[in-house]
Amino acid sequence: MITYLALGSNMGERLELLKAAREKLAADSQIEVLASSKLYETDPYGYTQQENFLNAVIKIDTSYQPADLLKKIHHIEAALDRKRLVHWGPRTIDIDILLMGDLNITTEELTIPHKEMTKRSFVLIPLRDVYHGELFNKSLAAWIEASGNQQEVRLAKEVW
């Protein structure tokens, strides 16, 4: 199933952590990485007393069911020393499921499509690199404009 994942890091070697997350996903026999966005330097969101993030979106094809993919993601985050200490706080790696085929899921642990994605330019701008078409009957450009925070997202000097 075609799935879009948002990746972010603002602790330690951000670029290396993003690369490691993508490599761990690609190494799984049930995941094929199809495309990667450019990297974007992003001001922190929510809790702003922290370092800037590097953000990206990857497009994958997976045979995982949503709950199993979430478990895989949590395993990768733990392997890369992710700690959940402060809501929206600093992190070595963050991986979110944005879209998974045309699924609409709401559970205690998981909401697909990601419920906050249309408010966050740090998700929408990299998503535009790998997702083509409308999102919820609007263009990505329209969602980015409506987010009002696109100035907080800049193309990063790092390349992966």
Question: What does pTM read for this prediction?
Answer: 0.93
Q: Who contacts 94 (Cβ-Cβ below 8 Å, separation ≥6)?
A: 6, 7, 8, 9, 77, 82
Catalytic site includes residue 120: no
pLDDT in tens, 128-149: 999 999 999 999 999 999 998 8
Residue 83: per-residue pLDDT: 64
Catalytic site includes residue 82: yes
- Low-confidence stretches of the chain (pLDDT < 50) are none
Residue 48: per-residue pLDDT: 64
Residue 136: per-residue pLDDT: 94
Catalytic site includes residue 81: no
Q: Give me the catalytic one of 96, 120, 128, 129.
A: 96
Q: Give me the catalytic one of 91, 120, 128, 129.
A: 91
Catalytic site includes residue 61: no
Q: Give me the catalytic one of 22, 94, 128, 129.
A: 94
